[in-house]
Amino acid sequence: MAGAAGPGSGPGAAGGDGDDSLYPIAVLIDELRNEDVQLRLNSIKKLSTIALALGVERTRTELLPFLTDTIYDEDEVLLALAEQLGNFTGLVGGPDFAHCLLPPLESLATVEETVVRDKAVESLRQISQEHTPVALEAHFVPLVKRLASGDWFTSRTSACGLFSVCYPRASNAVKAEIRQHFRSLCSDDTPMVRRAAASKLGEFAKVLELDSVKTEIVPLFTNLASDEQDSVRLLAVEACVSIAQLLSQEDLEALVMPTLRQAAEDKSWRVRYMVADKFSELQKAVGPKIALSDLIPAFQSLLRDCEAEVRAAAAHKVRELCENLPAEGRETVIMNQILPYIKELVSDTNQHVKSALASVIMGLSTVLGKENTIEHLLPLFLAQLKDECPEVRLNIISNLDCVNEVIGIRQLSQSLLPAIVELAEDAKWRVRLAIIEYMPLLAGQLGVEFFDEKLNSLCMAWLVDHVYAIREAATNNLMKLVQKFGTEWAQNTIVPKVLVMANDPNYLHRMTTLFCINALSEACGKEITTKQMLPIVLKMAGDQVANVRFNVAKSLQKIGPILDTNALQGEVKPVLQKLGQDEDMDVKYFAQEAISVVAQRLRKLDFPVKDSEEPSIPGVDKNLFLRPRGPGEDTGKAQRDGAAPVASEEAVEAAQLRGTNTAKGPACQLHINTRDTLAQLEIAEAMHFPQSRE
């Protein structure tokens, strides 16, 4: 499209500038009429390119009228158009001509699809900021009025989102008209329009004068909060937060609180749910005095609501409510007015309610202090640790750090252990996975002695779990534990148990041994890795299962940088060379990868590499890439020149037969000697850049 727009290109280029200048718009029209939706969508996404080619004047006089007249398409295309037009001000000549963008966006704001209307409104809001106050009243405000008085509900819903952006810069007379239109929409016959008005009520209230808020917005709020549709009433609750922030305490008590109390007891559970969900914001908006006198009783009723969804939403807000209470008298309010209701929720019949409470109840310990936590909260924690629902137990364990700061973990340890054991053996693997992730935190809080006595066996049992994700997480868990407790603990406690698994009849468990060694080697250091772990890895190189053998090669590559040079030269290299001749292609491949890494390590250490220890390659000097070449030495170029095309053809054929999808694993990769670098480059060129070869 960009090329089509360039000078001297396209049909008619030779016929004069007039013909050429018509070409971009002709292409656009062509693509917009194409049956393929994707082509039409691509054309819309290139509107800015077309506009640049046409220039600002022709964009205003030709492109925008064309778009306005032809708005009838798939929703996906219209959505892209609405988004593009929001950034079009510079392409039509700047803010002075921003009003030219209003007609197509006005049409888009009336379509049936909600996401298109919302995007059009978003673009209109953006463009409104670029209007001067005069242009705003001359062009933008009339658009809002037309939408607000449209016959179809879609235009009226779109208008609701535009009042707040044009009101602040309008004159007093126009402001009165805008408020009148908004009042009309709040009492519209169509519930969808009233919903849209209710959702924008708080936003509109913020830009109004305080007197108008009291005299006009508050009555609208009261009416919407008592609407026959619960979907309107619950949106009015959301607007209450914004309105409450604007009023004084006296006005709040007189004008808003009766409606809010009514909403907290609404017959629809969805409205009560919204009150519970917005409770912390409402609490901050109304201030501490009204919160204590009005909101605490409302919160109590929400905690005892007949609908589990409402109780769960209220339970989620318990900690925030307590933290937002004024410091003076907070403890008394919590102990007398909140805690009795919390105790009831601990034994609630619904697991979602108990789970929601368990996720926040531990945070109350920092609010209530040590004595109250031990006397009142600790029994609740212990009861939840024994709950039949695993999510409840998990939420308690995941927040133990809050209690640990206040009373220490020992108070919980006797009840904590059975809960951890049950979670560790839960039938759902995701529950087991979650408790593994918290194990390092628990270990740090419980201490090494308690951990060794009670939890060490659990961590080892996870290594042989039937789910791979659990075994992998357990391996990472061991590494974190070693970092926390130190290498001496690892050498005496963990490493021996891991190495015993190398003789397990199940090859998956033997592979887990290798994964553990990979993870532990860095944390344990050179000495433990060389003396204790390396012999086991080398012994496993003779395993009868190919998967184990190629993981041995990967492990040797992983721990190679940690080992000393004697071990690399005397023990690792011979084993890798043997694996490099393995009958299994994957074992051979990973062995050659590891040999390459080990050779680089030895070269960096200036350690001499013996000729006899290199695997021989027919026709190639085996030390060719391992020793420095002398001045003028022939590097075998002629030999490679002859061999490379053959190697390339064979490699391409092999790649075609085997497939090049690397997601299938190592078996799909080319298994060539990694030292023959130039041959590799030839193969890569043949495989990935066939167009460049003649």
Length of the chain: 694
| pLDDT tens digits for range 121-164 | 999 888 888 888 888 888 888 988 888 888 888 889 988 888 88
pLDDT at position 412: 65
Phi/psi of residue 660, each to 5°? -110, 15
Cα gap 620→643, rounded to integer Å: 11
What CATH number is given to the structural domain containing 61? Answer: 1.25.10.10
pLDDT at position 662: 39
CB 416 within 8 A of CB 427: no
- Calculate mean pLDDT across residues 355-378: 87
Cα gap 301→296, rounded to integer Å: 9
| pLDDT tens digits for range 521-548 | 888 888 888 888 889 999 998 888 999 9
pLDDT at position 634: 44
Instruction: Classify the phi-psi angles of 148: left when phi > 0, otherwise alpha if psi is within -120 to 50, otherwise beta.
Output: alpha
> What percent of the chain clears pLDDT 70, i.e. is strictly above it?
80
Tokens 């080619």 locate to 53
Torsion angle (degrees, nearest 10) of CA 94, 97, 99, 105: -60
| pLDDT tens digits for range 499-527 | 888 888 998 989 999 999 988 888 888 88
Asked whether residue 593 is domain-assigned, the answer is no
Q: How far is CA 92 from CA 28, 96, 98, 147, 628, in A?
A: 17, 9, 7, 24, 66
Asked whether residue 222 is domain-assigned, the answer is no
Task: Kindly report the average pLDDT of the chain as a whole number.
Answer: 78
Residue type, 659: G
Asked whether residue 55 is domain-assigned, the answer is yes
Inform me whether the pLDDT recorded for 417 exceeds 70: yes
Q: Residue 270 CB: number of other CB atoms within 10 A?
A: 15
Cα gap 541→498, rounded to integer Å: 17
Q: Which of 36, 67, 74 is nearest to 50 (CA)?
A: 67
Torsion angle (degrees, nearest 10) of CA 315, 319, 321, 327: 150
Inform me whether the pLDDT recorded for 694 exceeds 50: no
Q: How far is CA 224 from CA 160, 199, 397, 451, 635, in A?
A: 14, 10, 44, 59, 87
Distance of CA 279 to the CA centre of its chain: 26
Q: Residue 187 CB: number of other CB atoms within 10 A?
A: 13
Asked whether residue 244 is domain-assigned, the answer is no
Residue type, 214: K
Q: Which domain does 63 fall in, by range?
A: 22-130
- Calculate mean pLDDT across residues 338-350: 91
Inform me whether the pLDDT recorded for 254 exceeds 60: yes
∠ Cα 575 579 581 (to 5°): 125
Inform me whether the pLDDT recorded for 108 exceeds 60: yes
Cα gap 179→384, rounded to integer Å: 53
Least confident span in 3-17, 119-133, 166-180, 559-573: 3-17
Cα gap 671→585, rounded to integer Å: 7
What are 486's two structure tokens? Answer: 């130190």
Asked whether residue 49 is domain-assigned, the answer is yes
Instruction: Classify the phi-psi angles of 693: left when phi > 0, otherwise alpha if psi is within -120 to 50, otherwise beta.
Output: beta
Helices first, then strands: H and E counts in the chain: 48, 0
Cα gap 251→246, rounded to integer Å: 10
Distance of CA 541 to the CA centre of its chain: 41
What are 290's two structure tokens? Answer: 């009204």
∠ Cα 524 527 533 (to 5°): 70
pLDDT at position 127: 86
CB 377 within 8 A of CB 408: no
Least confident span in 263-277, 330-344, 542-556, 621-635: 621-635
Which ranges of 161-190 does DSSP label H, i.e. alpha helix? 163-166, 172-186
CB 521 within 8 A of CB 529: yes
| Number of domains the chain contains | 1
Asked whether residue 29 is domain-assigned, the answer is yes
Least confident span in 174-183, 328-337, 384-393, 582-591: 384-393
Asked whether residue 285 is domain-assigned, the answer is no
Inform me whether the pLDDT recorded for 249 exceeds 80: yes
